[in-house]
Amino acid sequence: MRIGILGAGGMGNVHAAQYRKMPGVEIFFFDRKEERLQKLIEKYQADGWTELSRVIENVDVIDICLPTDLHAEIGLQAIAVGKPIFVEKPIARTLDEAISLVEAAEKAKVALMPGQVVRYFPEFRKAHDLVLSGQVGRPAAARTRRGGPAPKGSSDWFMDHERSGGVLLDLAIHDFDWLRWTFGEVDHLYSRSVGLQAGSGPDYALTTLTFDSGVVAHVEATWMDPSGFRTTLEVAGSEGLIQFDSKDQPALRVSTSDGSRGDTPRAPLDDPYYLEIRGFLDAVRDGTPPPVSGWDGVNALAISLAAIESAQTGKVVVPQRFPR
């Protein structure tokens, strides 16, 4: 299977490393910047082009790792010629774009899957399973925290909130998706953000969500923590409590002159990004629905955009639900 990875930046590199573990998979890269493209071509001994049309024409599957505001335009080009697409979160920048992408894929009978990878992290998957199996009784409250220093990206596009949506769209969407997957639909939410007031730069946001089930969740997302990336999770129920902190999780810590880093030894095929992409390719091969649907991506986006609206207006907002 020939995979076209669009975007030679951070996530393109992450995805390429996972495809390399899969037999029968050949990767090709697209990036408009020749220098960046050549680095990945040399690293992975692959081929690539600076012309998007050449990649789309010459591969079987498209993997979109470009800035968020380009997802819909390029995804629609791929769907138009019948190519299945894996698209990094968020699925698109606006709801209209996301809906058009999913509906086009459905009409063309083309597989589409958004990259909501937190579902594949073992701690979050285990917590999801524990909640659904009733191990904590009736869930009442959840709390997540995700973030670290501000990301860079090509031309610093993450710091332009018109393009990236800030932490509420680019980062908190991970937890919004996991919470919806675990607890069901969101009835209403209230959010505050630092960066949205300026429209650019580093961002910090705190969102409180109330679910149809009555569960209340607090989601903290930050690009203003210089101490390093960290995630935490807590779920409280009538019969128990689930807690996770990535700072406490590593079973192995390595310290050298370059600094200290933690590592949780896992087999290469246990990597969450591998499991996510492998699940998508298996669905493409077998003609079955992808593990995460396009509408899952749209609904996660709807929650993020509702949080942005709340942070901008200071009001409680009810997220839209799809398909209606």
Q: Domains of the chain: which residue ranges?
A: 2-115, 118-313
Does 253 score more than 70 pLDDT?
no
What are 20-57's pLDDT values in tens digits?
999 999 999 999 888 889 988 999 999 999 999 999 99
CATH hierarchy code of domain 2-115: 3.40.50.720
For residues 121-149, average pLDDT: 94
- Run of H or E including 141: strand 139-147
Residue type (1 letter), 5: I
How does residue 258 score in pLDDT terms, banded at 50, 70 and 90? low
Does 11 score more than 70 pLDDT?
yes
Higher pLDDT, 162 or 221: 221
Does 132 score more than 90 pLDDT?
yes
Distance (Å) of CA 263 to CA 91, 253, 275: 30, 6, 18
Give the pair of three-digit tokens for residue 251. Answer: 């079973």
pTM: predicted TM-score of the whole model, two decimal places: 0.92
Phi first, then psi: what are they for 285, rounded to 5°?
A: -65, -40
* Terminal Cα distance for the chain, rounded: 35
Does 273 score more than 50 pLDDT?
yes
Does 262 score more than 60 pLDDT?
no
Phi first, then psi: what are they for 94, rounded to 5°?
A: -125, 160
Q: How far apart are CA 89 and CA 92, in angstroms?
A: 7
pLDDT, residue 230, reads 94
Residue type (1 letter), 83: K
What are 59-76's pLDDT values in tens digits?
999 999 999 999 999 999
Higher pLDDT, 264 or 201: 201
pLDDT, residue 268, reads 67
pLDDT, residue 254, reads 43
What are 186-245's pLDDT values in tens digits?
999 999 999 877 766 788 999 999 999 999 999 999 999 999 999 999 999 998 999 999
Domains 2-115 and 118-313 share a fold: no
CATH architecture, domain defined by 118-313? 2-Layer Sandwich (3.30)
For residues 166-175, average pLDDT: 95
pLDDT, residue 310, reads 97
Does 115 score more than 70 pLDDT?
yes
Question: Picking from 13-17, 47-51, 249-253, which range would have the lowest pLDDT averaged per residue?
Answer: 249-253
Q: Is 286 exposed, middle or buried (0-12, 13-18, 19+ CB in 10 A)?
A: exposed
Q: Residue 233: beta bridge partners? A: 144, 244
Q: Is 233 left (phi over 0), alpha (psi -120 to 50) or beta?
A: beta
Q: How far apart are CA 97 and CA 71, in angstroms?
A: 9
Whose CA is closest to 139, among 151, 128, 149, 131? 131
**Average pLDDT value for the chain:** 91
Question: Picking from 37-46, 147-156, 160-169, 309-318, which range would have the lowest pLDDT averaged per residue?
Answer: 147-156
